[in-house]
Amino acid sequence: MGNISTRCEMWDLTPPPIPPRSRLFHLQPLGVGTAYVESLTSYTVRLAMKHSILTKTLVQREILPLLGNLSATSRQTVLSMVFTEVGPTVNGTSDWAREWTNILSGLTLWDDLLCLTMTTWAEVIAGKRLVRQKKAWCPLCFEEWATRNEPIYEPLLWALSGIAICPVHLRRLAHQCPHCQKPQVMLSQNAPLGHCYYCGGWLGVLEEANPNHPAQPRDDELEWQTWAIRAAGELLAVAPQLPASPQKQRIADMVSMCADQLAGGNTARLGRELGIHVDTVQKWRHGDTIPSFDLLLQMCYRLGISPLRFLTEEPCAIDPTTARLLDLGGATGRVKKPGRRGFDVEAARTALEKILATDPDPALSLKEVARRLGYDPSHLRQRLPLLCAAISAKYLAYRRREKERKLRQIHEEVRRVILEIHAQGVYPTTSLVMERLARPNDFRRPGVRELWYDLVNELGWRRE
């Protein structure tokens, strides 16, 4: 019969290799490699929506456990911070941005999530004033994406503090819900993208025309914003392709070269011609500090070079013929930033009187009023002190009323939670009550512990 091995096929019983599996959906980030790349906060909310859970649930069950050995109390504290203080920094250059990126990359097995933040530029752009604390968006973009049945998301460009205009529709970004007029948190606990955190309304609805805050930018503002948007977009688009992040020494080298080429080595003169404080430029040249995002844009605008070339290309000589230097020579004094305008006293007076005659909800602070009018608050106080004082007083009264209203709501929520736990036949300890509160730290608000003590005694429980 011969050797059986020559007539029968030999089976390979080695188990086939199994590709790695992600714990969460392998969700692809949007716009990578373009100026409209998605922000990390947007990706986090979309990831939660993909799993049909709240963002708060995703953070609580999947992200926080990977942050380290946190106690239950510490985890609740961090959870509340995530949606207040931490949320905006996730899109920037902070340690939170790196940690958040690493965790989501491990959960989804996507390797290019770092470009959803500004972390690539952490060594050359300061984190302060880099990203917004509150959300900004273009209602027309939301509406068009919804009409075309495309994913609703929030580009990282909208999160940068220096960007005020949508590059597609050339209108100012919105900052308040068109339904309840409330500003939006950067990272929402429960609202889907494109919807208000407070009332749930669709944010794609255009706001009513406001003469003090028109949707269409002024010509000088549009010129500056168009340049700034293009410059910022180049940084966002090229981030995934860079072989390495630019280093801090790059700033010092470039400032020194600019001083030598354009100001005869005189740093003070360079600062004046850039319209930037001399001490600030001096610190950049010595490598003590790095520029904030707005000053980097201003410096590159004056030098006639894009921030991308300034930060990455070697060598990067400045062409004096294309620079927009102020040509002050040895002059001193303050200079205007690009896009600034003169102060129109009568127009400002009319606008302030109109605001005082109405009762917007929420009330407007003097800082917000000045931002809408395009002025510095100090200029308003100097020119129209009585009207400014009245607006500030009205805003402070509104803040006091809101504080009292929120405290009443917290007391009502604590009372409801205590009664729910009591109805289950369980002693409502402080830890149990805190776990069931929407924001556990609210238990530390004034009068809450006293309310708990009185209600527990009233229900007949003996404190444990």
CB atoms within 10 A of CB 240: 16
Amino acid making up residue 171: R
Paired strand residues for 165: 172
Residues 257, 264: Cα–Cα separation, whole Å: 10
Q: Name every residue whose Cβ is closer than 8 Å to that of residue 149 and which is 6 or more positions away in sequence.
A: none
What letter would DSSP give residue 248?
T
Which of 310, 341, 372 is the last residue in one of the domains?
341
Amino acid making up residue 282: Q
81, 108, 184, 72 alpha-carbon torsion, rounded to 10°: -20
Give which of 209, 328, 346, 343 is closest to 278, Cα–Cα: 328
Residue 2 included in any domain: no
Residues 201, 180: Cα–Cα separation, whole Å: 8
Q: Name every residue whose Cβ is closer than 8 Å to that of residue 246 and which is 6 or more positions away in sequence.
A: 121, 123, 124, 311, 312
pTM over 0.75: no
Residue 226 included in any domain: yes
Residue 4 included in any domain: no
**One domain for residues 320 and 387:** no
**One domain for residues 115 and 187:** yes
Check: CB of residue 262 under 8 Å from CB of residue 322. no
The number of folded domains in the chain is 3
Residue listed under structure tokens 């289950």 = 424
**One domain for residues 400 and 300:** no
Residue 148 included in any domain: yes
Residue 7 included in any domain: no
Give which of 236, 233, 284, 214 is closest to 256, Cα–Cα: 284
**Per-residue confidence in pLDDT tens, the chain, 464 aa:** 555 555 666 777 788 888 888 899 999 999 999 999 999 999 999 999 999 999 999 998 999 888 766 666 667 778 878 888 888 899 999 989 999 999 999 999 998 899 999 999 999 999 988 999 999 999 999 999 999 999 999 999 999 998 999 999 888 899 889 888 889 999 988 889 999 988 889 999 875 544 444 566 676 678 889 999 999 999 999 999 998 999 999 999 999 999 988 888 888 888 888 888 889 999 999 999 999 999 999 999 989 899 999 999 876 677 777 777 765 443 333 444 454 556 778 888 888 888 888 877 778 888 888 877 778 888 888 888 888 888 888 888 888 888 888 889 899 988 998 898 888 888 888 888 888 888 888 888 888 888 888 888 888 876 55
Residue 424 included in any domain: yes
Residue 451 included in any domain: yes
Name the maximum alpha-carbon separation found in the chain.
113
Residue 12 included in any domain: no
CA atoms within 13 A on the CB side of 98: 8
What letter would DSSP give residue 240?
G
Give which of 425, 427, 429, 420 is closest to 449, Cα–Cα: 429
Q: Is 176 exposed, middle or buried (CB count within 10 Å of its CB: 0-12, 13-18, 19+)?
A: buried
The sign of the torsion formed by the CA atoms of 231, 237, 241, 246 equals positive
Q: Residue 279: which domain range? A: 246-341
Residue listed under structure tokens 């100001």 = 263
Which of 242, 271, 300 is the last residue in one of the domains?
242
Q: Measured between alpha carbons, how far is residue 433 from residues 189, 421, 424 in Å?
A: 20, 8, 13
Number of H helices, E strands in the chain: 19, 0
Tokens of 403: 């504080």
Q: What CATH number is associated with residue 302?
A: 1.10.260.40
**One domain for residues 368 and 278:** no
CA atoms within 13 A on the CB side of 463: 10
**One domain for residues 113 and 222:** yes
